[in-house]
Amino acid sequence: MHMTRRPLVAALATTLVAATASLAGGTAFAQGKEVKIGYALAVNSHFGAAANTWAEAVDQGTNGAYKFKQFPSSALGGERELIEGLQLGTVEAAVVSTGALSNFVPDVGLVDIPFLFRDTQHARAVMDGAFGQELLAKFQKRGLVALAWGEQGFRHLSNNKHAVNGVADLKGLKIRVTENPVHITAFRTLGASPTPMSWPEVIGALQQGTIDGQENPVSVLTSAKLWQVQKHLTLTSHVYAPMALLVSPSFWGSLNASQKAAFTEGAKKGAIASRAFVDTVEKKGIEEARANGMKVVDKVDQAAFRAALEPAYKEYAKKFGQKTLDAITATK
Ligand code: PAF
């Protein structure tokens, strides 16, 4: 009898000691503390690439003390709800576009200005440089913690009415835009009819024809298979779209310094993974869209778009300061 009981008692005692030690260390149980992370698209997207890499890096960097639980495809709601969840502390982490962000951190709106960035290299230099890093710091005052800038790519226009070859073709088109004042001003100035809408509603609205089109980078086009609901694509490259890797302030406050470092380093790795994903998808995504029946306009006269946007640029300069805009343009 004793012979069989002893190992059991010993095992229970060992478990108890391990659990107590782990609690005392503030780290938790064998499974690691759960970190809920939400984002808009599927796991096999640039959002998923960022989240997976971030999760892995945190797992390694904290010796398994924190485990991400992923909620892709807007499972926790639209981006606005997700950001509110971070502020309330009901969600620990998120990867979001700048779509709804400027309603929370107004200065983010600056990066949404059309044709502000010359190309990907320019955009990455600005986001990784002093401007982008200072912008991350501004989240704190708004009840958010931002750790890195990932990427979606440059936004292009799609619609179901007709080929858009130039500014005049935008007239009256009902274009879904993010809930973003800078984008709304831009499309209104270009003569379109911008309709702000949360992403989870977009596919249904395109199917039902309550909107004619939308605008998003190739990474989103392929992930959401937008050719199933859109006929025409114009490669306008009108806005650079970064994405932010965020954590909730209450969760952040519960971490010690080395855990904070693991989350920050992990977020930076996640951001790099999203850029690598975008680099690949941009190469083959347009061909995929064509193969799936989309009619693609490869190029527009961007100077003509910029000229048409002149009144909007005046508004942006008033809002964000011409000096800051010039400094971004001057960045090499
Ligand atoms: O258009 C948007 O709302 C965003 O770009 C999306 C699709 C949610 C991806 O972040």
pLDDT value, residue 4 = 41
Instruction: List pLDDT tens digits, range 141-181.
Output: 999 999 999 999 999 999 999 999 999 999 999 999 999 99
Closest alpha carbon to 317 in 85, 153, 116: 116
Lowest mean pLDDT among 20-34, 54-68, 164-178, 180-194: 20-34
pLDDT in tens, 56-82: 999 999 999 999 999 999 999 999 999
Atom of ligand 1 nearest to the CA of 79: 8
The residue among 25 and 256 whose pLDDT is bigger is 256
Tokens of 165: 């070859």
Q: How far apart are CA 14 and CA 18, in angstroms?
A: 6
Query: Which pLDDT score is estimated for 31?
Result: 81
Are the beta carbons of 230 and 214 closer than 8 angstroms? yes
Q: Is the pLDDT of residue 230 over 60?
A: yes
Q: How far is the CA of 218 from the centre of ligand 1 (A)?
A: 11
Report the share of the chain in percent with pLDDT over 70. Answer: 91
Residue 29 predicted with pLDDT over 50: no
For a mutational test of ligand 1's pocket, the pick from 73, 178, 219, i.e. the residue with the most ligand atoms closer than 8 A to its C-beta, is 178
Q: CA angle, corner 246, sides to 244 and 249, nearest 5?
A: 150
Q: For residue 5, name the pLDDT band (cuts at 50, 70, 90).
A: very low
Domain coordinates of the chain in residue numbers? Answer: 33-330
- Of ligand 1's atoms, which has the minimum distance to the CA of residue 100? 3
- Cα-to-chain-centroid distance, residue 121: 18
Distance of alpha carbon 176 from alpha carbon 199, whole angstroms:
9
Q: Which residues contact 59 (CB under 8 A, 6 or more apart)?
A: 32, 66, 67, 68
**183 vs 16, more confident:** 183
Choose among 89, 105, 214: nearest CA to 149. Answer: 105
Strands (E), the chain: 33-38, 66-71, 93-97, 145-159, 174-177, 193-196, 213-216, 232-247, 295-297
**In this predicted structure, what is the pLDDT of residue 155?**
98
Tell me how far apart the alpha carbons of residues 248 and 142 are, in angstroms, rounded to a whole number: 11
Closest ligand 1 atom number to CA of residue 97: 10
Residue 28, pLDDT > 60, answer no
pLDDT tens, position by position, 282-328: 999 999 999 999 999 999 999 999 999 999 999 999 999 999 999 99
Ligand 1 midpoint to CA 199 (Å): 6
pLDDT over 80 at 27, yes or no: no
The confidence score (pLDDT) of residue 326 equals 97
Is 216 touching ligand 1 by the criterion CB < 6 Å? yes
Domain 33-330 -> CATH class:
alpha beta
Rounded average pLDDT over 197-225? 98
- DSSP-assigned states of every residue in 32-86: -EEEEEE-SS-TTSHHHHHHHHHHHHHHHHTTTSEEEEEE-TTTT-SHHHHHHHH
Contact 35, 93 (CB under 8 A): yes
